[in-house]
């Protein structure tokens, strides 16, 4: 699927596609990137077998959407939306180390928001960001998310960002 985005400056070569089983090992490698683990609520490395079982369940879930961003066919980022409460989807995303600092995270958050709202039938989308991750906080803010508070999760100070979904067209 080609991304529909109003994000200025997004390269026309960026495409958003549904994740498939073929993406499992790539996403496992990205999830185990040391910088990703440092910003995660669980800093321990993820075993491949654990990831594969988890990924298979996520691909089958009607409460989850996982998309891969490709730039000229090369995977550069992933984003996952999980329905975690009635009408709320929570975001997890990662940008490949070689493509960080280029605005792809912001573009990805903005480009997939409305699609996630429609396909998961939620009214708002939430992101939980460690206080120690200012780059991700900026990405959420630039993508139109509002900081609504802070929370302590697993003894880690985090910020909570939310963005409302547009009402459905009737």
**Residue 170: what pLDDT?**
63
Please give the angle made by the CA atoms of 50, 53 and 57, to the nearest 5 degrees.
135
If phi > 0 it is left, if psi is from -120 to 50 it is alpha, else beta; for residue 103 that is: left
- Whether residue 77 has pLDDT greater than 90: yes
145 located within any domain: yes
Token pair 């630039």: residue = 142
CATH value at residue 144: 3.40.630.30
Joined together, the tokens standing for residue 77 give 């980022």
38 located within any domain: yes
Number of structural domains in the chain: 1
5 located within any domain: no
8 located within any domain: no
Average pLDDT over residues 146-152: 96
6 located within any domain: no
Residue pLDDT, tens place only, 90-141: 999 999 988 888 889 999 999 999 999 999 999 999 999 999 899 999 999 9
**Residue 2: what pLDDT?**
42
Q: How confident is the model at residue 169 (pLDDT cuts 50, 70, 90)?
A: low
Average pLDDT over residues 56-75: 94
* pTM of the model as a whole: 0.88
139 located within any domain: yes
Q: Which helix (H) or strand (E) holds 140?
A: helix 134-142
74 located within any domain: yes
130 located within any domain: yes
Domain region containing 142: 14-164
Rounded Cα gap, residues 1 and 45, in angstroms: 31
**Residue 67: what pLDDT?**
97
Average pLDDT over residues 77-96: 95
Average pLDDT over residues 144-148: 98
Residue pLDDT, tens place only, 13-36: 789 999 999 999 999 999 998 888
């Amino acid at each position: 699927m080609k991304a529909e985005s109003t994000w200025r400056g997004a390269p026309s070569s960026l495409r958003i596609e549904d994740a498939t089983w073929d993406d499992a090992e790539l996403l496992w490698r990205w999830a185990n990137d040391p910088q990703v683990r440092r910003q995660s609520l669980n800093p321990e490395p993820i075993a491949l077998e654990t990831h594969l079982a988890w990924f298979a369940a996520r691909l089958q879930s009607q409460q989850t959407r996982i998309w891969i961003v490709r730039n000229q066919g090369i995977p550069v980022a992933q984003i996952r939306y999980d329905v975690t409460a009635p009408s709320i989807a929570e975001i997890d995303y990662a940008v490949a180390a070689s493509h960080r600092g280029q605005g792809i995270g912001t573009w990805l958050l903005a480009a997939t928001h409305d699609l996630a709202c429609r396909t998961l039938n939620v009214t708002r989308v939430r992101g939980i960001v460690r206080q120690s991750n200012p780059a991700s906080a900026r990405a959420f803010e630039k993508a139109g998310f509002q900081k609504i508070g802070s929370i302590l999760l697993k003894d880690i100070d985090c910020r909570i960002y939310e963005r409302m979904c547009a009402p459905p067209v009737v």
